[in-house]
Structure 1
Amino acid sequence: MLIQTEVGRAEVVAKQLAGLPGVLSAEYVTGPYDVVARIGANTMAELHDGVAAQVQQVTGITRTLTCPIADGAAP
């Protein structure tokens, strides 16, 4: 998940996200996004309605972009 935050809030937001269920890692970065979080769930519905929804409620987040990983492994 790519996250934009209010100015000066990236480090605080990353630390808050790291403690949420379903957040596997959260790092603050430079560039067009302020935080990159790796999130996980058993289903896409759980990812969207559970984990992503919780992340979006963190104070200081202004915008998120969820980018599900496409598994390229052939059966």
Structure 2
Amino acid sequence: MKEITASMAGTVLNIFAKEGDQINLGQEVLMLESMKMEIPIESGIEGVVKEVKVNIGDFVNEGDVLMVLG
């Protein structure tokens, strides 16, 4: 199972991928807000989104799983 994780702590501002979407290497999948800055989260892997683990407005910590790809 492949996972996309948070690179830093922050609040989920936007989610750009949904279950069933094909994700390419380097594709922006999510936007976090941390310390008043918008931080794009890019996929370091390729695959199909099996599960989105967060919702807009959720607070995440560094290393938390954001999405699971298959």
- TM bin, normalised by shorter chain, reads 0.3 to 0.5
More helix by share: 1
More strand by share: 2
TM-score w.r.t. length of structure 2: 0.33
Question: With CA pairs under 8 Å and 6+ residues apart, which has the higher RCO, 1 or 2?
Answer: 2
TM-score w.r.t. length of structure 1: 0.32
Q: Which has the larger radius of gyration?
A: 1
